[in-house]
């Protein structure tokens, strides 16, 4: 503890206690003086009383201040305030009643004790003794008065010269200690003394002289110094003519045996009477001192109770504050210093608990972060999976659906998170073929299962491979499905490519010799044979040549389809290229060819030859679709398209033909799928292949008001569309 | 609950009013005595300077009762003189006392030991009107115009211990004369 701490400790703890102890000691001293007399601290009474009142006032103010503070703390629900009030009440209840009881008993005891001092018989005995003393003294006074009166009569007729002799002769017979005659002006005429201590005349005072002038004599016993003396004063002679007379004074001591007895009687009676008179004051004094001591003790006890409760509960209040702070997640809140008692154990336990909670919280946070990271990672994985993934909890509620799943099924499944399969099925009946088996397998509780299903999504008929598994414990179920449609298409594309290459290699090579052989036969034998045979030969060779040409055309088409994508891309002015292609068809007077190009000249990086072929194929497809339509119309237009950050250009070829056949889908862009009797079925397949080689796509839709519209979407911009080249 | 509170309030009010009345009556009964300095002068006597004092003293009931029961009543006389050259102070105690055996009242100057005896309290009180108290020689040399002040009051420290505390509180034990001042006359 530093110097300031010591001073604070002395000022706040030691001094008040010392002051209270000093006041209590002073009160005890006052009580002792009240009971037994003594005059040492008589002048200190006002100071002690003032200090006591001041101490009481200070204590009352301190207690009021602490009560006010406690009330404020309770109002704002400060930690430990209610407990402090309870403890305070308990301490006060423990401390105050005993003090009050002791006070009551002490007061009663003092009153009873003081009253017991005054016994009636004692008082009567003392009064009687006093009366006896008075009678004895009165008898002595009368005797002395009688003797002095006789002497005064004798002296009345004596000469002044004989006064001294008369006194000397009578002093022994009268048993006086001093006889004197003096003038009214105090001039001593004669004085006789039987005791050397009384050689000086003891003149009567004014009051005595007044008594003599009124009653013509004075006789009384009065204390002279330490002894009781009878003084008798009688005028000599009769009063005539208003002249003041000489006075004869006689002093008579009480007998030696009587002196201490009368003094003792007087003192005893006096003491008793004094005590009797002081009885009330004594009770009041004791009552006041006791009340002061009681009040001081009670108030000090209450103040001490405040201190004790604050000292006891301060760590608890800080602990409550700390618990609230820890509850709010502030683990760095300082805890009260642990003492070596139960409260200290509580603080230590709380400290340990706080550390453990903090560690647990950190572990939980780390786990949560790891879980979040796992979730993000899993989400990223799920989002990058080409297979669709659906996660259900054990009650069949959808919890997870990845983007591939949404793309395959054509439904925004994230909107159905937290909903069950029945609701999804109700909103999207086309998903019944996946919802039903999912629900069935979840009901059956199979650990793993797989099933191939077909759904009719908005994007067309899709074949899915659906696999499911029950997660461990109560983890729910997960379903994974792959779009076999794309896989099948790729497989078919690969197969057709192989067929095309074989055709190009195996079929195209013999066609030329066949054609040449047919033409040689025609030249050698046409005209040499009879007319009927020549005609037959002509028809046959012509058929062979034309069919070989047709076969060549078909084989070339297959060759085009199967040709490896070796693109030679360069920036091309799109509208100019389309114009060049369309110009080839403009000569057809029957056809109405309309162009609707977007503003400007979009430059795209493509293989111009391949794009030109795609445009030809689309236009041929349109012309074949128009067929015998009376007013055939073809609309070619370009339009920009934006998908996120990617910019595209759509090249659409629309016709007013019969429109797309029923059930048109992605498969119609596969080789050898055609609705036309004479088509090779490779036109649209080639278009799709060219589109995909350039990183684009092709799609078809039914036009409103009739006809079909095929759209080739290519990346816009010089850096795009490099495709596989 | 409300009526209960009303009852307690009325009871407390009644008790308070009764206590107030009782207090007023007690104060009435404990009216303080009266003490006044009617005249005072310093006389140069052959034995030395002397203070001649005329006190108008009326002891009240409790004081007279105390006197009759043997409690000495002591008056403290404080004389202060201030001149240009000196400040003088003299304190005297005059004791009034009763002796039951001889039924005599005594007036006693503690310092000088002078004792006057009276057969009745009236004589004792009357004697206070003509007190003669000897003074130190320095008071004889006070120059003319010196200021003198006199305080006479009951000496509570001389009361018995049991009476000192009540005397500080009870009005009956307040006995003090207003300060009396005069100046030393020329010649």
List, as one string, the DSSP characters of A68-83. HHHHHHHHTT-TTHHH
Rounded to whole angstroms, the Cα distance separating A193 from A9 reads 77
Q: How far is the alpha carbon of A34 from chain B, nearest alpha carbon, in Å?
A: 4
For chain B, strand residue ranges (E) read 34-45, 48-58, 73-82, 87-99, 104-109, 115-118, 131-134, 147-154, 180-183
Cα–Cα distances in angstroms (integers) from residue A671 to residues A500, A523, A681, in the given order: 10, 38, 5
The residue among A437, A396, A394, A432 whose CA lies nearest residue A411 is A432
- Residue A238, SS3 per DSSP: coil
Residue A563: the pLDDT is 67
Question: Is B164 close to A42, i.e. CB distance below 8 A?
Answer: yes
CB contact under 8 A, A285 and B115: no
Q: What is the DSSP letter of B142?
A: P
Residue A464 sits at φ, ψ, to 5 deg, of: -120, 145
Helix (H, G, I), strand (E, B) or coil at A550: helix
Q: Which residue of A has its CA nearest to B98?
A: A270
pLDDT at B1: 47
d(CA A402, CA A395): 20
Cβ neighbours of A46 in B, within 8 Å: 168
Q: B163 vs chain A: nearest CA distance in angstroms?
A: 6
Q: How many Cα atoms are found within 13 Å in the side-chain-facing hemisphere of A232?
A: 27
CB neighbours of A168 closer than 8 A, spacing ≥ 6?
Answer: A192
**CB contact A211 to B (< 8 Å):** yes
pTM higher than 0.90: no
| Separation CA A510–CA A702 (nearest Å) | 42
Distances A432 to A194, A435, A463 between C-alpha atoms, Å: 157, 5, 14
- Of the candidates A708, A663, A712, A664, the residue with the CA atom closest to the CA atom of residue A687: A712
> Which residue of B lies nearest to A136 if distances are taken between CA atoms?
B101
CA A13, A19, A24, A29 dihedral sign is: positive
Distance of CA A324 to the CA centre of its chain: 6
Count other Cβ atoms within 10 Å, centred on residue A522. Answer: 18
In sequence order, the β-bridge partners of residue A388 are: A481
Alpha carbon separation from A44 to B154, B161, B166 (Å, rounded)? 16, 12, 14
Which residues from chain A sit within 8 angstroms of residue B116, using beta carbons? 205, 207
CA geometry: angle A150, A152, A156, nearest 5 deg: 120
Backbone φ, ψ for residue A484 (5° rounding) = -70, -15
In Å, how far are A422, A629, B12, B72, B157 from A267, measured between CA atoms? 121, 162, 49, 14, 22
What is the pLDDT, as a whole number, of residue A721?
40
Q: Note the pLDDT of residue A316.
A: 76
At A503 the three-state DSSP class reads helix
> Which residues from B are below 8 Å from A when comparing CB atoms?
65-66, 69-71, 99-104, 106, 115-119, 123, 127, 130, 156-158, 160-166, 168-169
Residue from B162, B166, B170, B176 whose CB has the most chain A CBs within 10 Å, to mutate: B162
Among residues A660, A651, A680, which one has the least CA distance to residue A582?
A651
Q: Is A568 exposed, middle or buried (0-12, 13-18, 19+ CB in 10 A)?
A: exposed
Looking at beta carbons, which residues of chain B come within 8 Å of A277? Answer: 65-66, 69-71
Q: How far from A387 is each of A405, A407, A451, A469, CA to CA, in Å?
A: 7, 10, 14, 15
Q: Do the strands A477-483 and A460-470 form a parallel or antiparallel pair, or are they unpaired?
A: antiparallel
Q: How far apart are CA A191 and CA A182, in angstroms?
A: 9
Q: What parts of chain A have a pLDDT lower than 70?
A: 1, 31-41, 239-244, 336, 338, 458-460, 489, 503-504, 562-565, 667, 671-680, 718-725
Alpha helix stretches (DSSP H) within A385-431: 403-409, 421-427
Contact criterion met (CB < 8 Å) for A285 and B162: yes
Mind telling me how many Å the CA of B157 is from chain A's nearest CA? 5
pLDDT (tens place) for every residue of chain B, 187 residues total: 455 556 666 767 767 776 776 665 655 556 778 899 999 888 887 778 888 999 998 888 888 888 888 888 999 999 998 887 788 898 989 999 888 888 888 888 877 777 888 888 888 888 888 888 888 888 888 888 888 999 999 998 888 888 887 888 888 888 899 999 998 876 5
pLDDT of residue A396: 85
**With contact defined as beta carbons under 8 Å apart, do B10 and B18 qualify?**
no
Q: Which of B164, B171, B173 to probe the A interface (max A CBs under 10 A)?
A: B164
CB B51 within 8 A of CB B132: yes
Nearest CA-CA distance, residue B76 and chain A, Å: 13
A644 Ramachandran zone, left/alpha/beta (phi>0; psi -120 to 50) = left
Q: How many residues can be counted in chain A?
A: 725
- Cα–Cα distance for residue pair A190/A151, rounded to 1 Å: 13
Contacts of B63 in chain A (CB under 8 A): none
Whole-number pLDDT of residue A242: 56
Distance of alpha carbon A37 from alpha carbon A49, whole angstroms: 18
How far apart CA B59 and CA B39 sit, in angstroms, is 19
The two beta strands, A708-715 and A646-655, are antiparallel
Q: Which of A220, A224, A269 sits opposite B100 (nearest CB)?
A: A269
Interface test with B, best of A32, A221, A278 (most B CBs within 10 A): A278
Interface predicted TM-score (ipTM): 0.71
Measured between CB atoms, which of B69, B70, B165 is closest to A34?
B165
What does the alpha-carbon distance between residue A440 and residue A450 come to, in Å, rounded to a whole number? 12
Cβ(A663)–Cβ(A682) below 8 Å: no
Smallest CA–CA distance from A261 into chain B, residue:
B101
Give the other-Cβ count within 10 Å of A265's Cβ: 21
Alpha-carbon distance of A524 to A536, in angstroms, equals 14
């Amino acid at each position: 503890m530093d110097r300031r701490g010591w001073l604070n400790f002395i000022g706040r703890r030691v001094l008040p206690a010392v002051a209270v102890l000093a006041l209590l000691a002073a009160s005890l001293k006052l009580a002792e003086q009240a009971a037994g007399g003594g005059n040492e601290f008589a002048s200190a009474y006002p100071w002690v009383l003032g200090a006591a009142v001041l101490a009481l006032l200070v204590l009352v103010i301190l207690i009021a201040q602490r009560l006010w503070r406690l009330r404020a703390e309770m109002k704002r629900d400060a930690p430990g305030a209610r407990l402090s009030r309870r403890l305070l009440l308990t301490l006060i209840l423990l401390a105050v009643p005993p003090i009050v009881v002791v006070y009551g008993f002490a007061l009663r005891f003092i009153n009873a004790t003081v009253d017991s001092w005054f016994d009636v018989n004692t008082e009567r005995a003392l009064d009687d003794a006093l009366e006896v003393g008075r009678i004895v003294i009165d008898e002595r006074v009368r005797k002395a008065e009688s003797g002095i009166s006789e002497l005064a009569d004798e002296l009345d007729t004596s000469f002044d010269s004989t006064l001294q002799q008369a006194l000397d002769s009578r002093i022994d017979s009268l048993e006086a200690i001093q006889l004197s005659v003096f003038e009214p002006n105090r001039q001593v005429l004669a004085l006789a003394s039987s005791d050397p201590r009384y050689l000086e005349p003891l003149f009567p005072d004014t009051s005595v002289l007044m008594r003599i002038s009124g009653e013509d004599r004075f006789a009384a016993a009065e204390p002279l110094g330490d002894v009781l003396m009878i003084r008798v004063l009688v005028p000599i002679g009769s009063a005539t003519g208003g002249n003041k007379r000489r006075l004869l004074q006689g002093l008579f001591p009480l007998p030696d045996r009587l002196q201490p007895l009368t003094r003792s009687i007087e003192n005893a009676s006096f003491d008793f009477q004094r005590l009797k008179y002081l009885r009330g004051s004594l009770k009041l004094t004791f009552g006041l001192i006791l009340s002061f001591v009681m009040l001081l003790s009670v108030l000090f006890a209450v103040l001490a109770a405040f201190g004790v409760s604050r000292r006891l509960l301060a760590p608890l209040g800080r602990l409550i504050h700390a618990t609230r702070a820890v509850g709010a997640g502030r683990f760095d809140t300082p805890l009260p210093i642990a003492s070596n008692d139960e409260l200290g154990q509580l603080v230590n336990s709380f400290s340990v608990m706080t550390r453990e909670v903090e560690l647990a919280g950190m572990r939980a946070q780390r786990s949560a972060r790891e879980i979040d990271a796992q979730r993000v990672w899993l989400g990223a994985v799920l989002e990058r999976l080409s297979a669709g993934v659906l996660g259900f909890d054990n009650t069949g509620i959808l919890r997870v659906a990845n983007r591939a799943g949404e793309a395959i099924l054509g439904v925004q499944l994230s909107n159905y998170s937290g909903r069950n399969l029945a609701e999804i099925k109700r909103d999207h009946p086309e998903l019944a073929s996946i919802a039903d088996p999912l629900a069935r397998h979840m009901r059956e509780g199979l650990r793993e299962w797989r099933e191939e299903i077909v759904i009719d999504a908005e994007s067309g008929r899709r074949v899915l491979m659906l696999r499911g598994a029950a997660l461990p414990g109560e983890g729910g179920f997960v379903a994974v499905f792959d779009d076999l449609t794309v896989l099948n298409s790729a497989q078919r594309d690969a197969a057709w490519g192989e067929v095309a290459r074989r055709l190009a290699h195996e079929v195209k090579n013999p066609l030329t010799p066949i054609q040449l052989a047919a033409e040689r036969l025609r030249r050698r034998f046409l005209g040499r044979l009879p007319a009927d045979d020549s005609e037959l030969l002509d028809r046959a060779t012509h058929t062979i040549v034309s069919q070989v040409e047709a076969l060549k055309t078909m084989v070339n088409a297959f060759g085009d389809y199967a040709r490896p994508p070796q693109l030679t891309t360069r920036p091309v002015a799109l509208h100019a290229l389309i114009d060049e292609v369309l110009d080839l068809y403009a000569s057809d007077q029957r056809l109405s060819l309309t162009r609707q190009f977007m503003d400007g000249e979009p430059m795209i990086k493509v293989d111009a030859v391949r794009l030109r072929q795609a445009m030809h194929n689309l236009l041929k497809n349109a012309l074949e679709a128009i067929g015998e339509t009376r007013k055939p119309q073809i609309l070619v237009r370009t339009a920009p398209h934006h998908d996120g950050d990617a910019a595209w250009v759509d090249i659409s070829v629309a016709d007013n033909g019969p429109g797309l056949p029923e059930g048109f889908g992605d498969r119609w862009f596969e080789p050898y799928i055609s609705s036309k009797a004479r088509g090779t079925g490779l036109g649209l397949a080639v278009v799709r292949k060219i589109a995909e080689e350039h990183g684009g796509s092709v799609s078809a839709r039914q036009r409103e008001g009739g006809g079909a519209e095929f759209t080739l979407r290519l990346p816009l911009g010089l850096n795009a569309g490099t495709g596989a080249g | 609950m409300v009526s209960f509170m009303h009852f307690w309030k009325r009871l407390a009010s009644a008790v308070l009013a009764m206590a107030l009345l009782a207090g007023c009556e007690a104060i009435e009964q404990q009216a303080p005595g009266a003490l006044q300095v009617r005249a005072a002068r310093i006389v140069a006597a052959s034995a030395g300077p002397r203070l001649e004092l005329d006190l108008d003293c009326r002891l009240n009931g409790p004081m007279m009762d105390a006197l009759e029961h043997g409690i000495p009543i002591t008056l403290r006389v404080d004389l202060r003189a201030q001149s240009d050259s000196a400040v003088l102070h003299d304190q005297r105690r005059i004791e009034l006392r009763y002796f039951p055996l001889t039924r005599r009242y005594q007036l006693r100057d503690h310092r000088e030991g002078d004792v006057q005896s009276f057969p009745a309290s009236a004589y004792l009180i009357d004697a206070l009107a003509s007190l003669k108290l000897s003074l130190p020689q320095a008071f004889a040399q006070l120059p003319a115009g010196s200021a003198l002040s006199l305080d006479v009051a009951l000496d509570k420290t001389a009361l018995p211990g049991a009476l000192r505390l009540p005397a500080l509180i009870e009005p009956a034990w307040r006995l003090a004369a207003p300060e009396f001042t005069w100046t030393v006359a020329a010649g």
